Structures are given as structure tokens and as C-alpha cells.
Chains A and B, each alone.
Chain A
């Protein structure tokens, strides 16, 4: 049973456009929802994270939207750049130093 479902699997966006990646979760005990960026051969790097007490969080060009009732959250990358081309993973965890559960990833390509 996949606890975090991520879509789309791949995404091509024009430079300057908005990249949108969606995730849905099932476990209502999850209370921490991060997004990670991964380049080939590297470990994941934390981009931005949100907790259920807010519906939106913005850091620079990256925004997380969170819908607790729908159990969904999304990542928006504004003014997408070729350097943003990477694989993005959503994840979730519950309190108590528990491991992250990852979505399957979205391969983003930003073309000029």
C-alpha cells in the first residue's frame, strides 16, 4: 500500500513557467510534509516543508500548498529555471523521529 502518491511522474516546463507537483497521503497521523530535490548521484536536499497547522508556505520561488481535509499537498515552483531540472520527491512522516515515507518522484525538465 503506497502511503504517499505523487504525480506526475515526469514534467516538462518552459523556462519562466510554473511547475506544479502534487502529492496525496493516506495516513492521518502524518504531521510533517517536506519536499526534496535530488540531482543524479546525489542525496536528496530539503527544499521546503510544511506542518498541518498552515495551508501554505512560501520560500523564494517555492511554495507548498496544503489541504488537510483532502489529504493533499503540492509544490509550486515559480519562474522555473533550467537549473531546477531534477527529480523532486514529496514525503511525509509522523511525530517521534519516525522515518520519512517518500512518493515515487517527479522528474522535472525545464527547457529554454
Chain B
């Protein structure tokens, strides 16, 4: 139980285009999901907290207009990287808390490469 499915697992896009990453909780409802970014050989950095039915909360330094987050249902949150540039290339990971007894579950991550 407590599975978070993230798609796509990898994507290559051209500079200036937008890319959408989906994060779904498969067997539990998640009113809150978290989006992280991870650079090679580095730790996970929290980008934003996604709240179902309301606006996301972004961490300091994260551009709201570039990283659009939508949490339209209790099982789906999406992250759209708009007008992507090569410096946006990174590993993006979503997470949700499945309950006190289960803890936080992570998606398998999305490797974004902007060329």
C-alpha cells in the first residue's frame, strides 16, 4: 500500500517549451503533496507544497510562474515547468504522507533534460 505514481519517468524537451509532470497517490488520498528537486549527487530540496483545492506554497527562491502546481483532486498533483531552460534540467520528485503509520511515500522521480 501507499504507492505514489509519478509520470513521466524521464522527458527531454526543447528550450522554451513546457513540460507537465504528474504525481498520483494510487491507494490513498493526499490532501497535501510535496515537490522536490534533486541535482546530481545532492540532496532533495523542497520546491513547494501542493494543497488540494487551494494554491500551492512555494519555498523561497522558487519561481511560482515557472513551476506551476495544480492539485485538482485528492489523488493528483501536477507540476508544469513553463518556458523550460537548460538550467531547469534536474530530477523532480513528488511525495505525500500516507498516514502516521505509513509515513511519507515518494514517487519514482522524473528526469527532465532541456536541450
Contacts and interface: CB of A to CB of B under 8 A. Distances in A.
Interface of A: 32, 34, 36, 41-46, 49, 89, 91, 93, 97, 99-105, 107
A46 B32 contact: no
Contacts of A34: 103-104
B103 A105 contact: no
- DSSP class of A's interface residues: helix, strand, loop or mixed? strand
A77 B105 CA distance: 21
Interface in B22-77: 31-32, 34, 41-44, 46, 49
The 6 residue pairs across chains A and B that have the minimum distance between CB atoms = A43-B106, A43-B109, A43-B108, A99-B34, A104-B43, A102-B43
Given A34-B103, A43-B93, A46-B103, A99 B46 contact: yes
Nearest to A44: B106
B3 to A, nearest CB: 11
Nearest to B46: A99
Q: How large is the interface on B (under 10, 10 to 19, 20 to 34, 35 or more residues)?
A: 20 to 34
Contacts of B49: 99
B74 to A, nearest CB: 13
Contact of B106 (A32, A45, A104, A107): A45
Given A89-B44, A100-B34, A104-B43, 18 more contacts: A41-B91, A41-B111, A42-B108, A43-B93, A43-B106, A43-B107, A44-B44, A46-B105, A49-B103, A89-B43, A91-B104, A93-B104, A100-B95, A100-B104, A101-B46, A102-B44, A103-B43, A105-B43
16 contacts: A42-B108, A43-B106, A43-B108, A44-B106, A46-B104, A46-B105, A49-B103, A89-B43, A89-B44, A97-B32, A100-B44, A100-B46, A100-B104, A102-B43, A103-B43, A105-B43
